[in-house]
Amino acid sequence: MRVTGISVDPPETNREHCRRMGFTFPFLSDTKLDAIRAYDLVHAGAGPGGADISRPAEFLIDATGTVRWAHLTDSIAVRARPEEVLKAIDHLRLASPSRD
């Protein structure tokens, strides 16, 4: 299992953000919003200067690329709680013990 972040911000901004926050997982830059569009997460005009950004979302995706759990919101202030994500992981492991 791996954690990965994706942001519309350029790599330099993401590197600095990860350094400040102490993130040790990969944090990818999607400045063209390709992945963000693929997951239907574009929040049009909601960024600085009216730029398109991603709405907050968390996904658990299995090794085949299938989304097994999602938490979507339109509010930047609302995120999945760690306990909620861990509960979803446990549930998925119980449902499919051979998958990680």
User: In the chain, what percentage of residues exceed pLDDT 90?
Assistant: 55
Residues 40 and 75 in one domain: no
**Look-up of token digits 């861990």:** 86
- For residues 27 and 7, the answer to whether their CB atoms sit within 8 Å is yes
- What pLDDT does residue 52 have? 93
For residue 13, pLDDT beyond 90 = yes
Residues 4 and 25 in one domain: yes
Question: Whole domain around residue 22: which residue ranges?
Answer: 1-55
Among the three residues 20, 36, 55, which one is the final residue of a domain in this structure?
A: 55
Residues 20 and 47 in one domain: yes
Residues 61 and 77 in one domain: yes
H/E run at residue 19: helix 11-21
Residues 83 and 44 in one domain: no
Residues 37 and 18 in one domain: yes
Q: What is the dihedral of CA 84, 76, 39, 89, to 10 degrees?
A: -10
- Beta-bridge mates of residue 29: 7
Residues 42 and 64 in one domain: no
Among the three residues 55, 74, 90, which one is the final residue of a domain in this structure?
A: 55
Considering the entire predicted model, what is its pTM? Answer: 0.72
Residues 10 and 30 in one domain: yes
Per-residue pLDDT, averaged over 33-60, amounts to 92
Residues 1 and 49 in one domain: yes
